[in-house]
Amino acid sequence: MNLEVLIQHATIEALKKLYDYDTDTALVQVQNTRKDQIGDFTIVVFPFVRFSKKSPEVTGKEIGNFVTEKVNLIDSFQVVKGFLNFIVKNDYWLKYLRDAFNDNSFGLINQGENCKTIMVEYSSPNTNKPLHLGHIRNNLLGYSISEILKANGHKVIKTNIVNDRGIHICKSMYAWQKWGNGETPESTGIKGDHLVGKYYVEFSNRLKFEIAELMSKGFSEEEAENNAPSMIAARELLVKWEANDPETINLWKTMNEWVYKGFDETYRKLGVDFDKIYYESDTYITGKEEVLRGEKEGVFFRKEDQSVWADLTADGLDQKLLLRSDGTSVYITQDIGTAKMRYNDFDIDKMIYVVGNEQNYHFQILALLLDKLGYSWGKDLFHFSYGMVELPSGKMKSREGTVVDADDLIEEMTDVARKMSQELGKLESLAKDEAEATYRMIALGALKYFILKVDPRKNMLFNPEESIDFNGNTGPFIQYTHARIKSVLRKAEEKQINFTTDFLLPEISQKEKDLLKTITLFPDVVKEAGDNYSPAVIANYCYELVKEYNQFYHDHSILAESDEAKRNFRLVLSSTVAKVAKTGMGLLGIQMPERM
């Protein structure tokens, strides 16, 4: 039982013994003491004065005396305007430090009785374009949430659904057929996903021209788009694809292979991976079967044009198209199939979709349709809805080619990291290969941290230069502090200082205690991040931890400390901070350099 719980239980006992009042843990909240007051843990006594019939100060003193007598780890207490602040004995903090220092999995929970099997879907790219900045936020959130859930003792299956079929793919295919002149990634030197994306933009540009021409002849915009030659050709390709036309299938496979190779390279650069990849070209078949079963059973209905729909008006929604009049599938159809296949493949307790907030309505409908089809787990699907990433220049648009490409962004960030590091002279002592690896580590640390420190539900503005600053709430600042600690530990080793946790200290300074207290918060932070699916909780904790460390480092000597016990304590403290920071940043998918 941790100290906060001991204080809480002792306070409940005090209320009963002193004032004959029975209460539960909900009313007695133990908080960390505010920094403007002296103490470690605080209980607000205002709610108890109606039972004590005494002033807050007297009530606090009576409860404080009782709890201090009961809990031998408490040294003393103070009452400040109704706040009962307990001061904990140094032995408690030192024991906690020793335990954290010796525990290689400090803050993490092993799989046990409460372990759930959780599937997390993220990435979900289309094979008609390369990954962009929006995909980066999706991938980083999905990967980090998966790692945080693992840290909370769950079995996690990281999954990806590749949107490898549909009208958007046929647009790129048609454009390459029409204007590609046989180009390949090998013949052009262009990465495969970029080459296919080039033809998606080409299709959009040609389609705009055709629509404008038809509108000049009196067509409405909707009529013009439906009758544009390029759009008709793309739809014909989709029908041929679903009819398994050999030539169409061969082209589709060829262009998708180009894209998959490109995606794999980008995923490797980002440091994300998957346990299972599904393809919509497989799952849409199961989805169609489910829709047709639903129609047969009267769950769905068919219109005169032979399209199949779900009537959700009784649920406060509208009618939803499930199969087009030509028999081809829509997104919701294949998502039904994907969900069924996943639950057949794995014994899932929870399914989490990491998808942007523009799809909130889509997932509301998906859960409802699965429930209507008789799947009890349908309404338990969880849509982790996150905000969009924008740039100072505004919103990105794939079809107009105005997106920030993921590969280009990673390279740009690496260039900025290299330039800033060289200007500051931070990596002059490293060999060229090690320096280049560190530049990339800094660049990705900056990118990932800047994106993940923001509340996922909020839209965010991404500023590459601001993200890579070596000061402030940034990834490089945290990485640099870790490298600084590692440098201290290397120097200790060079001086043959073999520090252990066998130190005895009569007192520790306030800065040291503040740092120690921050370390003790890490297990609760990991749990909170898991409960709320929030990497931002981890990110901002890591920043607070290293900020506390830098304040401690500024005020205290370590290797130059003449008192051996104090020196060893500070080395253990430093080493533990480095370990916790590395673990925390690892949950965000961020590597920590040994030297910077």
Q: Distance (Å, rounded) from C-alpha 50 to C-alpha 64?
A: 17
Task: List, for residues 73-86, the tens digit of each pLDDT value.
Answer: 999 999 998 999 99
pLDDT top residue among 58 and 505: 58
> At 403, is the pLDDT very low, low, confident or very high (cuts 50, 70, 90)?
low
Say yes or no to pLDDT of 567 above 60. Answer: yes
Least Cα distance to 472 among 495, 494, 449 occurs for 449
- pTM given for the model: 0.90
Q: Distance (Å, rounded) from C-alpha 87 to C-alpha 76?
A: 5
Say yes or no to pLDDT of 99 above 90. Answer: yes
Report, as an integer, the average pLDDT of 235-249.
93
The per-residue pLDDT for 548 is 96
pLDDT top residue among 541 and 26: 541
Say yes or no to pLDDT of 396 above 70. Answer: no
Q: Distance (Å, rounded) from C-alpha 442 to C-alpha 407?
A: 16
Q: How far apart are the first and last CA of the chain?
A: 40
Residues 438 and 163 sit within 8 Å (Cβ to Cβ): no
Distance, C-alpha 107 to centroid of its chain: 18
Report, as an integer, the average pLDDT of 123-144.
94
> At 127, is the pLDDT very low, low, confident or very high (cuts 50, 70, 90)?
very high
The per-residue pLDDT for 136 is 94
Residues 588 and 538 sit within 8 Å (Cβ to Cβ): yes
**C-alpha pair distances (Å), 150 with each of 368, 380, 402:** 29, 20, 37
3-state secondary structure of 279: strand
Q: Distance (Å, rounded) from C-alpha 4 to C-alpha 434?
A: 45
Q: Distance (Å, rounded) from C-alpha 74 to C-alpha 92?
A: 9
The per-residue pLDDT for 137 is 94
Residues 255 and 196 sit within 8 Å (Cβ to Cβ): yes
The per-residue pLDDT for 426 is 67
**C-alpha pair distances (Å), 580 with each of 251, 487, 521, 527, 545:** 50, 16, 11, 15, 9
What is the topology classification, in CATH, of domain 406-587? Isoleucyl-tRNA Synthetase; Domain 1 (1.10.730)
Say yes or no to pLDDT of 399 above 50. Answer: no
Q: Beta 30-32 vs 41-44: how paired, if at all?
A: antiparallel
Q: Distance (Å, rounded) from C-alpha 246 to C-alpha 224?
A: 31
Report, as an integer, the average pLDDT of 120-126.
95
The per-residue pLDDT for 466 is 82
Q: Distance (Å, rounded) from C-alpha 353 to C-alpha 72?
A: 48
Residues 427 and 595 sit within 8 Å (Cβ to Cβ): yes
Q: Does domain 3-88 have CATH number 3.30.420.130?
A: no
Say yes or no to pLDDT of 171 above 50. Answer: yes
Identify any residues that bridge with 313 across adjacent strands, giving them in sequence order: none
Residue 391 DSSP symbol: B
In the CATH scheme, what is the code of domain 122-390? 3.40.50.620
Say yes or no to pLDDT of 413 above 60. Answer: yes
Task: List, for residues 31-57, the tens digit of each pLDDT value.
Answer: 999 988 999 999 999 999 999 999 999
> At 1, is the pLDDT very low, low, confident or very high (cuts 50, 70, 90)?
low
> At 402, is the pLDDT very low, low, confident or very high (cuts 50, 70, 90)?
low
Residue with tokens 């929870």: 350
> At 273, is the pLDDT very low, low, confident or very high (cuts 50, 70, 90)?
very high
pLDDT top residue among 402 and 375: 375
In the chain, where the domains are located: 3-88, 122-390, 406-587
Identify any residues that bridge with 311 across adjacent strands, giving them in sequence order: 319
The per-residue pLDDT for 301 is 96
Total residues found in the chain within this entry: 596
129 CB-contact burial (10 Å; exposed 0-12 / middle 13-18 / buried 19+) = buried
214 CB-near residues (< 8 Å, 6+ apart): 223, 224, 227, 228
Task: List, for residues 428-446, the tens digit of each pLDDT value.
Answer: 777 888 888 999 999 999 9
